Chain A
Amino acid sequence: GAGVSQSPSNKVTEKGKDVELRCDPISGHTALYWYRQSLGQGLEFLIYFQGNSAPDKSGLPSDRFSAERTGGSVSTLTIQRTQQEDSAVYLCASSLNIAGTDTQYFGPGTRLTVL
Chain B
Amino acid sequence: SQKIEQNSEALNIQEGKTATLTCNYTNYSPAYLQWYRQDPGRGPVFLLLIRENEKEKRKERLKVTFDTTLKQSLFHITASQPADSATYLCALDSNYQLIWGAGTKLIIKP
List the A residue with the shortest CB-CB distance to B94.
A100
Give the CA-CA distance A106 to B42 in the complex, in Å: 8
B96 with A56: CB separation less than 8 A: yes
- Among candidates B4, B98, B103, residue contacting A100 with C-beta atoms closer than 8 Å: B98
**B102 / chain A contacts, CB cutoff of 8 Å:** 40-42
Which residues of B, 51-110, contact A by the 8 Å Cβ criterion? 51, 89, 91-103
- Among candidates B34, B42, B101, B103, residue contacting A103 with C-beta atoms closer than 8 Å: B34
Which residues of B, 1-58, contact A by the 8 Å Cβ criterion? 4, 8, 30-32, 34, 41-46, 49, 51
A106 with B32: CB separation less than 8 A: no
Please tell me if A107 contacts chain B, counting CB pairs below 8 Å: yes
Nearest chain B CB to A104's CB is how many angstroms away?
7
B46 with A42: CB separation less than 8 A: no
Mark interface residues in A34-66 (1 if CB within 8 Å of B CB, else 0): 010000111101001010000010000000000
B32 with A93: CB separation less than 8 A: no
Which residues of A, 58-115, contact B by the 8 Å Cβ criterion? 91, 93, 98-101, 103-109
Please tell me if A4 contacts chain B, counting CB pairs below 8 Å: yes
A109 with B43: CB separation less than 8 A: yes
Beyond A40-B102, A100-B96, A101-B49, 4 extra complex contacts between A and B, CB < 8 Å:
A101-B51, A103-B34, A106-B44, A109-B41
Using a CB–CB distance below 8 Å, which chain B residues touch chain A? 4, 8, 30-32, 34, 41-46, 49, 51, 89, 91-103
Q: List 16 A-B contacts (CB under 8 A).
A: A4-B43, A35-B100, A40-B102, A42-B101, A42-B103, A43-B100, A45-B97, A45-B98, A48-B97, A56-B96, A100-B32, A100-B92, A100-B94, A101-B51, A103-B46, A109-B43
